[in-house]
Amino acid sequence: MASTDRNAGLLSPYRVLDLSNELGFLCGKILGDLGADVIKVEPPGGEPARRLGPFYGDQLDPEKSLFWFGFNNNKRGITLNLESAKGRELFAQLVAKTDFVIETFTPGYLDGLNLSYTALSKINPRLVLTSITPFGQTGPYSKFKASDIEIMALSGCMSLTGDPDRPPLRVTFPQSYGWTGSYAAMGALTAHYHREITGEGQQVDVSAQACLLWAFSHAHTFWDLNRQLEKRAGSFMTGRSITGARMRVFWPCQDGYLNFIIYGGEAGRRTNQALVEWMDSKGMAPDFLKQKNWETFDIARVGQEEIDRMEEPIGEFFRGVTKAEFFKEVVRRQMLGYPVASVKEIFADPQHEARHFWQIIEHPELKTSIEYPRGFAKFSNGACQIWRRAPLIGEHNQEIYGQELGMSPSQISELQKQGVI
């Protein structure tokens, strides 16, 4: 049984001020999943990312953004105008009691408010400030703004997505936000480890462009060694044969798509032979496949003509099976291959069920509950899960400004009137 107490998390003694936009949301969420007390700081009126869809009930409401729900759970929420003198004063009070600050402002913005790392470290020398921007704090692009699609483009990653004879494609879900948030969390926790040893805080400078380059590091290595650019392969895979042959990776089936590739080596011998035997049991294995010696089959030297000849009957066979049938036979015959699961199908996946992966979180403001993925890892001594839903706009203003900073209800009300919170 999972604990509902945040104190069971490994980072429960620590506090995070999350001033980030969507580029840094995941960084704060990861720390929150690990038990840290994450306070999402939004401008009065709410973070612009609250207007990103999809929306609960298809209602265009900043309090009903499912994108917001997904990346800002495990956070309390306050509003604060950093551009006001009183807002900066309140922020300084919060920083004095904070272990991490996450921000995604254009380099120089916090300096202009006298909230640079140098200024903040004077308030709290142990502070870890994680600064996440499209291109980092230095360099000719440092002050450029960019969304996911621009970061994907300028990192070079987009040049590798899509079909070779068509323009590059954007991956449907924002890739740069996920990769950058994960690497930023790693950087923040590494700085935290250093702080635990030395007592010193530091600034962590995270470039989203660099994070994407790390994620696809084989591409520039391939260029550096061979002076050749990797090409978009679409539903195929290249680089397994010295002849340049491409092999299909995704195959249409009765109710979707399958992931399968003609393999080499010992694993390939078993998989290829088992597939041909399955095809033969249905009367769909041509003689040349049944007669092929998989013991001596060398995937590294096979040409495109031979690959095409093998893939034609395999494709015809796969079009006649369902994803469930395929997976059942893959397991039974000890083959390599998987169905391409839809989001709907992963909710019924017995693997997730066995690991208690899904977690139901109540949303009283919606009079319903929503099923979320649990934490990203399991720890033998500590919990990693969702402790609370994403905050409403300014939901914890009274709790934090009143109970923790000692302000009276009338003072808080006055700050709201002044546009400070």
Q: Over 143-183, what HEC string results? A: CCCCCHHHHHHHCCHHHHCCCCCCCCCCCCCCHHHHHHHHH
Residue 293 burial (CB count, 10 A): 8
Q: pTM of the prediction?
A: 0.91
If 0-12 CB within 10 Å is exposed, 13-18 middle and 19+ buried, where does residue 377 land? exposed
Residue 363 burial (CB count, 10 A): 14
CB 17 within 8 A of CB 101: yes
For residues 91 and 217, which has the higher predicted lDDT (pLDDT)?
Answer: 91
CB 159 within 8 A of CB 168: yes
Q: What's the fold here for domain 236-339?
A: formyl-coa transferase, domain 3 (3.30.1540)
pLDDT at residue number 2: 46
Interval 156-164 mean pLDDT: 85
Instruction: Please determine, for residue 217, whether its predicted confidence score (pLDDT) is greater than 90.
Output: no
Instruction: Please determine, for residue 322, whether its predicted confidence score (pLDDT) is greater than 90.
Output: yes
Terminal Cα distance for the chain, rounded: 39
Interval 244-270 mean pLDDT: 90
Fold match between domain 6-215+351-417 and domain 236-339: no
Phi-psi region of 169 (alpha: psi -120 to 50; beta: other; left: phi over 0): beta
Strand, coil or helix: 371: strand
pLDDT at residue number 1: 39
pLDDT at residue number 224: 59
Q: Which CATH architecture has domain 6-215+351-417?
A: 3-Layer(aba) Sandwich (3.40)
pLDDT at residue number 226: 58
pLDDT at residue number 211: 94
Interval 387-406 mean pLDDT: 97
Instruction: Please determine, for residue 204, whether its predicted confidence score (pLDDT) is greater than 50.
Output: yes
pLDDT in tens, 189-200: 999 999 999 999
Residue ranges of domains in the chain: 6-215+351-417, 236-339
Contacts of 225 (CB under 8 A, 6+ apart): none
Nearest CA to 133 out of 87, 90, 183, 92 is that of: 183
């079909």: which residue's tokens?
Answer: 163
Nearest-angstrom CA–CA distance, 287 and 295: 17
pLDDT in tens, 7-20: 888 999 999 999 99
Phi-psi region of 97 (alpha: psi -120 to 50; beta: other; left: phi over 0): alpha
